[in-house]
Amino acid sequence: MQSTLSKATLGRLPMYLQFIRRMDAEKVSATQIAKGLGLGEVQVRKDLASVCTAGLPKVGYPVSTLRRDIERALGADVPVSAVIVGAGKLGTALMDYDGFSDYGVEIAAAFDRSASTPSLHGHVPVYPMDQLAAFCISHHIRTGILTVPASAAQTAADAMTAAGLTAILNFASYPIKVPSGVTVHPVNIALSLAYLHLAASETGKQEEEEQYGTKSI
């Protein structure tokens, strides 16, 4: 079912899953979810119908069934191991993050060019970069999280793809180049914050115009 879902729908499913995981009820409706998340009811209804057929008009969905089907659509029902490349401040923060398990992701290890010998950060082993390929091959890992500085991003990405990784979550503020067949999802925190600042500024400007009846020229 997952292959038929749009990227937009897949992007909203984690929000739905987080919402119903917090519920203490047997049934939930698209209306409840839409109101709880501030989303359009029609869109939520379409999204839920695309992953779960157990919904009934005026009744809603069994929470346990909807949760199972969303987890299945996201692949969260099948554990996935990933590695972190770059054990600096951001990489360390991700190693400390305990929310990956909520979506079936386990951080199996981290790798850093400054590591000369294996060490342990919490429960996550940290290895030198030259052990990346052997580790990924022996543990059948295909997913990596890139958290190195921009200046080292392409070199690290080359090492990741050479190690057989075919999916990379890129936190480096640099557009890496990868071979055909490798999926990259960029995460630019600074850009996201800039967007939020702009959105907040526009909202504030609109509220001021409505309050004082003025418009910027």
User: Which two three-digit tokens encode residue 178?
Assistant: 């990868």
pLDDT of residue 216: 47
Confidence of residue 57 (pLDDT cuts 50, 70, 90): confident
Q: Which domain holds residue 8?
A: 2-74
How many independent structural domains does the chain possess? Answer: 2
SS3 118: coil
Cα separation, 134 vs 213, in Å, equals 66
Residue type, 107: I
pLDDT of residue 4: 77
**pLDDT score of 53 more than 70:** yes
Residues 120 and 181 in one domain: yes
pLDDT of residue 1: 41
Q: Please, how many CA atoms are within 13 Å of residue 134, restricted to the half-sphere of its CB? A: 5
Cα separation, 65 vs 52, in Å, equals 8
Residue type, 211: Q
pLDDT of residue 35: 94
Residues 64 and 85 in one domain: no
Q: Does residue 95 fall inside a structural domain?
A: yes
Q: What is the CATH number of the domain that holds 147?
A: 3.40.50.720
Total-model pTM = 0.70
pLDDT digits (tens, 9 = 90+) for 160-212: 999 999 999 999 988 999 999 999 999 877 777 787 777 777 766 666 666 66
pLDDT digits (tens, 9 = 90+) for 108-125: 999 999 999 999 999 999
pLDDT of residue 166: 96
